[in-house]
Amino acid sequence: MTRTVNGFMLIDAPHSALNNAGNDSSERTENIVRVKVIRKGRKVYPYVSGQALRYWWRTTLEEKFDWKVSPIEREKKIAFTNANPVEYDDDDVFGYMRALKKADGGTVTRLSVLKNSPLVSVTGQVPTEDFGVMARHEGDPVPYEHEFYSTVLKGIFSLDLGNIGVFYKSEKTGYKNMYPELEAIAEKNGAAQVESKWVMPAEVRTKRAKDVLKALPYLAGGAKQTSHLTDVSPKLLILVGIDGGNHLFMNLVREENGEASLDIEALEDVISDYSDILLTDIYIGRRKGFMEELDPVLKALTEKYAGNSPKVIYGSINETVDSFVQVIPGLMG
């Protein structure tokens, strides 16, 4: 069974337009920029696409942790990376697909070991339409509009520790990672061939796993930052290592009286029902000032589980990440 890090996070978006759908040509004017939304019944829920979140994550890893990012090539309407997870950290963690010539190995694909949901508003929204004008030129001002919202966004992610730095040769979509040239590069970079797969040195695999999590407090990105500046790093974060590939934390937050509410009973149910596959303590981080009402609740939860295995470890976002990454080497396998 694969050992996986389960992550749950809330992002505070108090006046934001982080991911936009572009102009809507059906509107009365041609310069209204709408935010991306999901509709459930009569309610509208703004969201940030999973692709956008991954872009923020990859960029943070490159800029903050000096990740060597795979170069992108474009041929007509197709763009692809180098498909070299040995030398490029992001090809390992974020996956790839590239069609090589048959003589060079044919089409290679790699499943991303980092999987994430979109960031979706916890509460239904009626996005505000903001009216503006461009008036720095001579003549009539040019009007334009855009939308923004005030909400808490929730998201989940999982990191497959067993497959970081492990590259397969199987004739199966997602598992044909290798081609002859890459095998030679892997051998040159200290990877070991184990049956039909190549395994990178333990220190490389561990560093990549730790970096992915250590980037969380520094996530940066999003649209409209010039006029809606939003800190997109998690304000509430839960991390746990599990024996398996499922995700346990999808339903921990619900809408209550128009606000986001963390369901502590749902969290305790997860701890109880899945205690047999939990490999670590439950690490909970919260940025002071965000959902301040949770502070006594989480402190009480910590005390309640003090004598248990697993325990609940509670602290700031940075303390939580720093503590959790210390257990990564023991989970890598």
Nearest residue to 141 via CA among 131, 154, 150: 131
- How confident is residue 22, by pLDDT bands cut at 50, 70 and 90? confident
pLDDT over threshold 90, residue 35: yes
State the alpha helices, DSSP H only, in the chain. Answer: 50-64, 89-94, 180-188, 202-214, 225-228, 264-273, 294-304, 317-324, 328-331
Lowest mean pLDDT among 127-131, 153-157, 309-313: 127-131
Residue-wise pLDDT tens digits, 92-114: 999 999 999 888 989 999 999 99
Q: Give me the residue spans of the domains in the chain.
A: 1-329
Structure tokens at 325: 């990454």
Cα torsion 159, 241, 238, 206: sign:
negative
* Predicted pLDDT of residue 134: 87
Percent of all residues in the chain with a pLDDT value above 90, rounded to a whole number: 86
Task: Tell which wins on pLDDT, 279 or 77.
Answer: 279
* Predicted pLDDT of residue 154: 98
Percent of all residues in the chain with a pLDDT value above 70, rounded to a whole number: 97
- How confident is residue 75, by pLDDT bands cut at 50, 70 and 90? confident
pLDDT over threshold 90, residue 32: no
SS3 state at 102: helix
Average predicted confidence (pLDDT) for the chain = 94
Residue-wise pLDDT tens digits, 232-286: 999 999 999 999 988 999 999 999 999 999 999 999 999 999 999 999 999 999 9
pLDDT over threshold 80, residue 17: yes
* Predicted pLDDT of residue 28: 64
CA distances from 222 to 51, 157, 226, 235, 328 (A): 12, 18, 10, 16, 29
Nearest residue to 120 via CA among 8, 284, 4: 8
* Predicted pLDDT of residue 202: 97
Distance, in Å, from the CA atom of 112 to the CA atom of 95, rounded to the nearest integer, reads: 4
Mean pLDDT, to the nearest integer, of 108-134? 95
The angle formed by the CA atoms of residues 202, 321 and 161, to the nearest 5 degrees, is 35
- How confident is residue 25, by pLDDT bands cut at 50, 70 and 90? low
Distance, in Å, from the CA atom of 327 to the CA atom of 159, rounded to the nearest integer, reads: 14
* Predicted pLDDT of residue 178: 96
* Predicted pLDDT of residue 29: 63
Mean pLDDT, to the nearest integer, of 174-189? 96
* Predicted pLDDT of residue 176: 95
- How confident is residue 327, by pLDDT bands cut at 50, 70 and 90? very high
CB atoms within 10 A of CB 49: 14
Residues in the chain: 333
Mean pLDDT, to the nearest integer, of 138-146? 88
Mean pLDDT, to the nearest integer, of 48-71? 98
Mean pLDDT, to the nearest integer, of 57-78? 94
Mean pLDDT, to the nearest integer, of 12-40? 85
- How confident is residue 143, by pLDDT bands cut at 50, 70 and 90? confident
pLDDT over threshold 80, residue 27: no
